[in-house]
Amino acid sequence: MTTSSGATSALSALLERYRAGLLRIVRLLGSGLLRYESEEDLVQGIHLHALRVAEHFQDQGEKAFRGWILRVARQYIAHRHRYWSALRRNPGEVRRLSTFASKGTALARHPVSPATGPVTSAARREEFALAVKAIAVLLPRDQRLVRWMCEGASVEEIASRLGLTVDAAARAKRRAVERLRAAFEALSRRAGIRSRLA
């Protein structure tokens, strides 16, 4: 199958027709992801991934399409599992990037507090859950930048991965953190976390 606009439109129509099937696949294979992303977001991600790899699809009937889209969905869901697993390996850094929204606030001080105990642990888990939700609403490039930062990638490494100059990568990194913190602040206000941690 070529990637002409007509072929892409035909594949898009097939994907829309099979949306209910993709929702079933997401519920079956992606249940662990639903803490971080909605079913609809995952289905949309599968659609976009399918369109990106459309050159590997040959229209040989509905049964062949179902087999192909199942493989595509598995690839995408496996990728999202790896993504969130990488973030979970460094929850402190995820919280740090998300919660230093305004210096001097109780919420900003909390992640580096040495205190432990049930209340502190619960608050940190709640912060991490909110941070993960904030990451999920970012654009894909910002999500990648946040993951790389959590993995300790230097600005030079990030520049190389994105094909940017070091200065441009530093700006992209700074903007990604700003957008992450803005999303975290909005979610925090909605959840009322700031008043509980103050």
Q: Distances in Å between the alpha carbon of 67 and those of 57, 64, 72, 73, 180?
A: 10, 5, 9, 10, 37
Determine the residue type at 184.
F
Site of tokens 């910002």:
142
98: left (phi over 0), alpha (psi -120 to 50) or beta: alpha
Using alpha carbons only, how large is the chain's radius of gyration in Å? 20
Residue of 197 and 159 predicted with greater confidence: 159
Residue of 122 and 144 predicted with greater confidence: 144
Q: What is the pLDDT of residue 51?
A: 87
Q: What is the pLDDT of residue 120?
A: 64
pTM, two decimals, is 0.60
pLDDT band at 166; cut points 50, 70, 90: very high
CA atoms of 52 and 55, how far apart (whole Å): 8
The answer to whether residue 53 scores a pLDDT higher than 70 is yes
Q: What is the pLDDT of residue 73?
A: 93
Q: Cα torsion for 66, 21, 77, 133, to the nearest 10°?
A: 160
The answer to whether residue 40 scores a pLDDT higher than 70 is yes
The contacts of residue 116 (CB under 8 Å, 6+ apart) are none
Phi, psi of 171 (to 5 degrees): -65, -45
> Burial, 145: exposed, middle or buried (Cβ in 10 Å; 0-12, 13-18, 19+)?
buried
Spatial contact of 95 and 121, defined as CB atoms under 8 Å apart: no
pLDDT band at 131; cut points 50, 70, 90: confident
DSSP letter assigned to residue 151: T
